[in-house]
Every structure is written in structure tokens, then in C-alpha cells.
Amino acid sequence: MNRYQFEDLISEYIENQLSLSKRKEFEAYLKKNPDSEELVYSIKDNIKKLNKMPQLTTSSTFNERLMESVGKSNYNPNEDKLNKIIFGFTPAYASLMMGLVVAFIFISVQLINPSSDPQQFQSEYLTDEQSPRNVSNSNNIDNNQNQDLVEAIDDSIKADSSIQIKRDFSNKIQFVND
Amino acid sequence: MKQSSYSSLAVSLDKKSTFLYTDEQLIGRFQAGDERAYVELVNRYKDRLLNFVFQFLGDMEQAEDVVQDTMLRLYEKKHYYKEIAKFSTWIYTIARNLANTELRKRKRRKTTYLSHMSKDERQYEIPAVQDNVDQSLHNEFIQDRIKSAISKLPEHYKMVIILRDIQELSYDDISNIVGVPLGTIKSRINRARLQLQADLQDLK
């Protein structure tokens, strides 16, 4: 143990917080260095003096003046309800969090169910070149083929968006025996 | 109406408390609306906080004003206390922050602080009466030397030595109040004690 290590451990030694092995090492150092022993004794003595320092006490009018201050303060006990903490947040933060949650839910719903209008969906997800309007205006592309393509897309979109509508195919079904 | 309720509270402040609750139980009761619990907390902490704050400000009137502000904050912000921390840590932290604010103001303004009350109106308790005048003078001399030695310490040493050796708080509490890791607190206390010893070595 050197001098620096010794100085670092003085408080722990005085407060009896050293492990047994460290304590033995520390005490061995003290025996070898009488001035160190004196230093430890002196620090112990200072701690005792600090503990015995006279305690100041507040003036006799302290409580009276405090109550005057309490009375004068703008504090309203009825406002306590507003100051209460909601799930670990102050009311302001709780409101903000609630707003964020609502916004998150709204955006999530929009992402999952982008649009109930198939035409809108079509215009959003088809590129300009695929757009039926552009296709019909183009002179370079085969109009019939494009028209088929558009109709096919329309059908698929309608089929997707009207899952719940059950069509009656009974008239169109022909059995072999018929 | 409001004023009268506070004056009745002031009267109950001077009565000897019969409460046997912990600080945490008291603040819980106060949060639930029992103002007698507030009175008890004030009585428990006013002197401890005064001794703590005085070591920083070195001025009795200012220190008492800071303790008043601390108690007022306790009254107004009672719902901000959460039982995850010890009450003593919370109240000491408020007092420390207010004392720091006061020190910053003092440095900025560099003007003499005028308290709201004249000195004549203040009545401070006189420390324990000594039987022997010589002994009393000797003790006073030692105390002045110690105070002077503490005031010479750097701020971060001063705070921890006051909390540990004068206020006798635990290392954990000090760590929470100062907001510094436990190891750093231990190291600071050790260094502060060594510095004090160097300054007071002629004092036997």
C-alpha cells in the first residue's frame, strides 16, 4: 500500500467499511508509518468536532411567518385536482400523450384501410402511364388492350373493396345435367 | 375564511406534536389533505435545513428566508413528491436548489440582501449555555475555526462534508441529494476531510 492508496481509504477505515483483508493491510501501513496513524486520529477528532457543532435554530417567529406566506400565496387547495399526476405524467404531459396516442391510432387506421373509394385507390396506386385517362388519350397504344386492362383492374378493385357484399351467382351457374 | 384556517394552523404549529409517523407517512397524509402532517414536517425539518443552508449562505436571515421558501414549496408542490425517494432527500434537494439560486442571484446582483423583516424583529435561539466562560470562549474559537475551514472548501466538497459530518446523512441520501454517484461522494468526503485536517492541524 502506498501513500495515495492509504489516503483514499482513510474514511472507509474510520467508518469501518473496509473488508477484513483491506483493514489488515491498512493497519499494517499505520504501524509502519506513525505519522499516518496521527493523521487518522486527527481526522477522527475533526469529525467528532463537526458532529458537535452547535445547531442553529430558527427564529421564534418562523412558523408564524411561514403561515403568513402560505396564506398570501396564490395556492388554491382546489387546484390540487389539476396538479395530480396521471399515470406518472402531469396533466399537461398526460394531455400531450393522449393527443399523440389518438394521432397514432388515426394514422394507423389510415394506413391499414387507405380508402374505401376504389376510384381514389385506383388513382393513388396506378402510375400516370397506367391511368385509364392517359391510356385512352394515347394514340400510340392499342386502345382495346388498354381498355381491357382498365376494366380488369376495376373489377379486381371492386372485388377487393366489396368483400362483404355477397353476390348472387345462382342464375349464372349451370349444372351439367341442365 | 382562508386566512382564518391558516392562522389556526399557525397555532397548532406551536403545540408539541403527538405524531409518531415516518416522514413518508406524514407527506402521504399531507397529500391526502391532513395539514397537521405539514406542520409536523415543518417542525421536523426547519432547523436541520437551516443548518444546511446556513453553511452555504453564511447569513442567518438569508438562510431562514430560504428555509421559508423551501417549506412554502413543500406546501404548494406536495403532489410532486413520489414515494420512490426518501422525503428527506426530496426536501434537502429543494433547499439545496433554492440556496444555489440565492447564491447565483447574489453573484449577479452583488448587492446587499435586504430581508423583509428588520433584525430587531428576529429572535434567534441562543446555543447551549456554557457553565464555564473560558471553556465557552475556547469552544467558540474552535467552532469559528471549523466554520472558516469549511467555508474555504470548494463548493462540491463543502456540500458533502456538511451533509455527512454535520447533518449526519447516509452516503446514499447524500448521493441522491447531490445527484452524483456513490463512489464519487465517498471520494469527495474523504478528500474534504483531508483538506479540513490540513487546515485545522494546529487545532488540538
Q: In this predicted complex, what is the ipTM?
A: 0.70
pLDDT tens profile B34-89: 888 999 999 999 999 998 898 888 888 999 999 999 999 999 888 888 877 888 88
Which of A18-27, A75-84, A143-152 has the weakest average pLDDT?
A75-84
Give the pLDDT of residue B148: 87
Q: Between the CA of residue A58 and those of B53, B82, B84, B108, B123, what are the distances in Å?
A: 12, 28, 30, 27, 8
Contact between chains at A58 and B121 (C-beta distance less than 8 A): no
Q: What is the DSSP letter of B116?
A: S
d(CA A129, CA A135): 7
Mutation target among A50, A60, A93 for the B interface, most CBs of B within 10 A: A50
A58 contacts B64? CB cut-off 8 A: yes
Q: Identify which of B13, B63, B125 has the shortest CB distance to residue A67.
A: B13
CB B87 within 8 A of CB B24: yes
Query: What's the fold here for domain B131-204?
Result: Arc Repressor Mutant, subunit A (1.10.10)
What CATH number has the domain spanning B9-115?
1.10.1740.10
Whether residue A67 and residue B72 make contact (CB cut-off 8 A), yes or no, is no
Show me where the domains of chain B are located: 9-115, 131-204
Contact B92, B187 (CB under 8 A): no
B104-156 tens-digit pLDDT: 888 777 644 444 444 444 455 555 555 566 777 777 888 888 888 988 899 88
Answer yes or no: do B166 and A50 touch at CB < 8 A.
Answer: yes
B157: left (phi over 0), alpha (psi -120 to 50) or beta: alpha
Distance separating alpha carbons of residues B168 and B7, to the nearest angstrom: 34
Smallest Cβ distance to A71: which of B2, B63, B168?
B2
| Contact present, B20 and A69 (Cβ < 8 Å) | no
Please give the Cα distance from B203 to A46 (Å, whole number).
9
Chain B CB within 8 Å of residue A57 CB: yes
Same fold, B9-115 and B131-204: no
Backbone angles phi, psi at B111, to 5 degrees: -120, 165
Q: Verify whether the Cβ–Cβ distance B143 to A64 is below 8 Å.
A: no
Q: So where are chain A's domains?
A: 3-51, 83-113, 115-164
